[in-house]
Structure 1
Amino acid sequence: MASKSNSTFSVLGSDLTITGDIQASADLHIDGSVEGDIACSSLVQGETSTVKGAIKAESARLAGTVEGSITARELVILKSARIMGDVFYDALTIEQGAQVEGRFAHRDTKAKASAAPQGGTKPELTVAG
């Protein structure tokens, strides 16, 4: 499986409006509008971008508007972001000024929330300012 190239990425320009789900094995940069769910390795969302649907990514850097749930291992919410939906994360950074209407929940990769050992992995929250 030699198809593991980190140099591959796709760009959706600000003039694009897509209706439907997007699944990408590559990194994705979105400046346009998407009505549908997005699943990719790494997502970068521009300030003018709007996403109406769920986002699932290993890492996501959001600067635009999202209406839907977000699930990411590493999530950065920039000050220009407007999020309406629940946020599931492993590591979270939120810039001062970002707006989020929804719940935050640390992802439990082992699905053993009640049996977590003392001193185990703890949620990481960073406030950038």
Structure 2
Amino acid sequence: MATMAGEHEQREFTRVPISFGVEVSVDGRALEGCLVHDLSMKGMLVVTPERFPIGTPCSAVIVLVEGEVEIRMSGRVAADHPEGFGMEFSTIDGLESYIHLRNLVLFNAGDVDRVEGEFQSHAGIRRKA
């Protein structure tokens, strides 16, 4: 997904380019064949032909190791994109999910120092007061 410089500067967390399968439910309905196109600590672009209204509740599971390592998050549809929709996370379920998401973002980031600074300025996915 191409982003404008101003949009990138307004983001709280760096998005990293990544592409793999993700299990997504929107408003309680499981979607088929979804992919993550890019990912941050606060959200991701879900690639799917389906469209949903902004604000629709959704949840996702990224399976890193089948039956062993996964990242669970819930949130809402935050944006409509030609490839699918943007999901904004409101919760990341459990410390293990948070740590795996953090590591996935960090290991795929081009600017590790910037990403580490973002982690330091936040308590989880919320900005420190």
The TM-score, its normalising length taken from structure 1, stands at 0.26
The higher relative CO (CA closer than 8 Å, separation ≥ 6) is in: 2
Looking at secondary structure, tell me which structure has more strand per residue: 1
The TM-score, its normalising length taken from structure 2, stands at 0.26
Structure with larger Rg: 1
